[in-house]
Chains A and B, each alone.
Chain A
Amino acid sequence: MRLELGHVNISDVQFGAETKIENGVLYVNKEELISLIKEDEHLKEVDVEIARPGESVRITPVKDVIEPRVKVEGPGEIFPGVLGKVETVGSGKTYALKGCAVVTTGKIVGFQEGIIDMTGPGAEYTPFSKTNNVVLICEPVDGLKQHDHERAVRFAGLKAAKYLAEAAREVTPDKVEVFETLPLLEQLNQYPDLPKVAYVQMLQSQGLLHDTYVYGVDAKQIVPTILYPTEIMDGAIISGNCVSACDKNTTYHHLNNPVVADLYEKHGKELNFVGVIITNENVYLADKERSSNWTAKLAEYLGLDGVIISQEGFGNPDTDLIMNCKKIEQKGIKTVIITDEYAGRDGSSQSLADADPLANAVVTGGNANEIIELPAMDKVIGSLEYIDTIAGGFDGSLKEDGSITVELQAITGATNELGFNKMSAKGF
């Protein structure tokens, strides 16, 4: 499967009479976008704002972040099985609006929604302070239950991203990257002397607002399976998560999965990247056993030498992470795991809820409990009223002057477990 990914660089976003891209500027017809999103009867009010890098703007509570992408050639559409037909994606040509994202906010769904600061110390910790953000503020109709509310806002974000990306369809991309993974036997023969490596991606599926969708299927319902890496770039996996903001894999993270990108970077040079094994993080023990047995079985079946395993969330999924790691290592296949830490505010507590000596190669996205002070911003998109109760906040997090003291946990993407950021932690 071969995908050409065209980068359409967006240096600014502005409202305009027509939604279009000109000289790297994305113009958005606000009314048209709002009326598209308001088609959903679950949403009472919808507004759109723009937040640019460096502006004194705070967005909260953030639910999802999505990079607008459009398929210009090849089968299927973006977000197959969700917005598009359930055609297999990952081949042909796709354009991505680089430097631009859709961010969804509005009344809180659960507790686990985040903060994005476009400037100041908090901006260092979130990748979305560097993107030009089209922010949807979605207010649900009265009495809407949390799961219906989450779904309505999830679809709002995806629809907005799809709508904006259409503007790129006829644009000539600034850069084109080509990714190719061959059918397995051919792929093994292409680089017979290089170690065979796959990526085991664990998808958040604890349920009760902790869900991920694969081609529209709730990941709780899947057994581990294999994807071409390029399928992910076309939106095969989307987030439906209210997991703590810091280690929630937003849809943007999935589309731009850094493990996939960095394995491709070494593909044909130092390793042979043969594919992605996706698995879930269900809460029942039998499911954990079955899924980890299957990831190990698939890793063996593919004849792998090594895997990178990434996690989403923390606590309960730590057990899935360790089970996957242990069982794959026991097959004689080398593993590196990517996680993050909950070592307490002073960093002195044990970081994970499970551990095993076979997990001897760990990459960490940092300690999510570490405290950060966020100064007040000139403008808030969304609302500050949930700051004390979102995951990572506590009584008194929000000060009268609008400044905030919270754990990094509350910052969207801060300790990402796909390894999206540079942050790590050291033992002292």
Chain B
Amino acid sequence: MGKIKVVHYINQFFAGIGGEEKADIKPEVREEVIGPGMALNAGFKGEAEIVATVICGDSYFNENVEEAKAEILEMVKKYEPDLFIAGPAFNAGRYGVACATITAAVQEELGIPAMTAMYEENPGVDMFRKDLYIVATKNSAAGMRDAVNKMVPLALKLAKGEEIGTPDEEHYHARGIRKNFFADKRGSARAVDMLIKKLKGEEFQTEYPMPDFDRVEPNPAVKDISKATIALVTSGGIVPKGNPDHIESSSASKYGKYDIEGFEDLTSETHETAHGGYDPVYANEDADRVLPVDVLREMEKEGKIGKLHRYFYTTVGNGTAVKNAKAFGEEIGKELKEAGVDAVILTST
């Protein structure tokens, strides 16, 4: 492979054009190595070379994201680079967001390996960490040398398509992607070692840092339930008999939406569960045990509730990834809102 061709992206400040007063300049491309590009180029030691530098004002980028993205992508494409690098942006918020946004666009739309670098509190990190390799830097340009030293090895690996190590090894902000590997010792021995270190007050490393847990505040009570349209949503896997959409018994990748117009009662003839996480006998005998259509129909007749929504939504909450569940929830919530549903009874198993 010849020399790796790199296109570098920086803002007006690092290009030496000016500060805030010049932040509205439009994207331009120069076939030269500018500002932090000098240090990166030196770090590449001839293995890679910056062939062009794209400069854009931070205000312009952030106020005209779509136009700026399109213009810059055109500029980058022309050079057919092997790698795209933006920044480092340190703790400059708008610059960081611009760097991360354009890096993601190059990676996705042009399919070119791309990376950026910034301080952990830069908003660009949280917006894009899942999608991008973002090297962790100090919070100001005083950390330039350190940033370049960390960016160069990762940049070369990305360009060559080599395997990327852990965040600690490669100095990028953890993307939260979990991958299996075989450790030297079995889990119980690792646990005993970890406990001994913890008891001695020595440093130990957890294998799974706790995530920030998403806790949802309940909504205020429905004011007049006798006028409300109520929907049923379940993770208990109740489906029309035969599971027409093949919802998985575990690790569900989809949910179903089914019509219950005309159903006064769910029976073993009409409904069953697709759930693989519990003894299905009782749910299959009478699916109302999980999805109480019968009781709600009675309440509808008695005027205790306004109306039972025509459709129920269902999935299997068994080893189903939180990410999938969240996506289902968002879509279902949106549809229910559009359908004028006032309240939802969520049943689980």
Contact = CB atoms under 8 A, between A and B. Distances in A.
Interface stretch (B39-47, B246-254, B332-340): B246-254
Interface string A328-358: 0000001110110111111111111111110
B178 A338 contact: no
A350 B192 contact: no
A369 B323 CA distance: 12
Interface in A349-407: 349-357, 359-370, 389-395, 407
Given A210-B278, A368-B319, A428-B179, 17 more contacts: A111-B249, A209-B278, A262-B189, A334-B198, A336-B195, A344-B322, A345-B321, A354-B213, A361-B195, A362-B207, A369-B321, A408-B180, A409-B250, A419-B188, A425-B178, A426-B207, A427-B178
Contacts of A262: 186, 188-189, 191-192
Contacts of B185: 422
B272 to A, nearest CB: 13
B190 A344 contact: no
Nearest to B243: A389
A64 interface: no
Contact of B249 (A263, A315, A390, A419): A390
Given A348-B177, A426-B179, A343 B321 contact: yes
A393 B101 CA distance: 37
A49 interface: no
A110 interface: yes
Interface string A217-252: 000000000000000000000000010100000000
B258 interface: no
A348 B248 CA distance: 20
Interface string B171-208: 00011111111111111111110111011000010111
Contacts, number: 254
A362 B211 CA distance: 12
Interface of A: 110-112, 124, 145-147, 195, 197, 206-210, 242, 244, 258-259, 261-263, 265-266, 270-271, 305-308, 314-315, 334-336, 338-339, 341-357, 359-370, 389-395, 407-409, 416-428
Contacts of B189: 258, 262, 265, 419
A409 B324 CA distance: 17
B276 A391 contact: yes
A336 B188 CA distance: 10
B178 A420 contact: no
Nearest to B249: A111
Interface string B262-288: 000000000000001111111000000
Interface of chain A, main secondary structure: loop
A321 B148 CA distance: 43
B317 interface: yes
A195 B214 CA distance: 36
B207 A308 contact: no
Given A262-B189, A363-B194, A351 B178 contact: yes
B279 A270 contact: no
Nearest to A343: B178
Contact of B317 (A315, A349, A357): A315
Task: Using C-beta atoms within 8 Å of the partner chain, give the interface range for chain B.
Answer: 35 or more
A308 B195 contact: yes
A244 to B, nearest CB: 6
B188 A258 contact: yes
Contacts of B324: 344, 349
Contact of A362 (B188, B208, B253): B208
B319 A342 contact: yes
B167 interface: yes
Contacts of A370: 179-180
Contacts of A359: 210
A424 B187 contact: yes
Interface in B138-182: 164, 166-167, 174-182
Contacts of A147: 279, 281
Contact of A391 (B191, B196, B317, B319): B319
7 closest Cβ pairs, A-B complex: A419-B187, A111-B276, A419-B188, A344-B321, A391-B250, A349-B323, A208-B279
A249 B267 CA distance: 35
B331 to A, nearest CB: 16
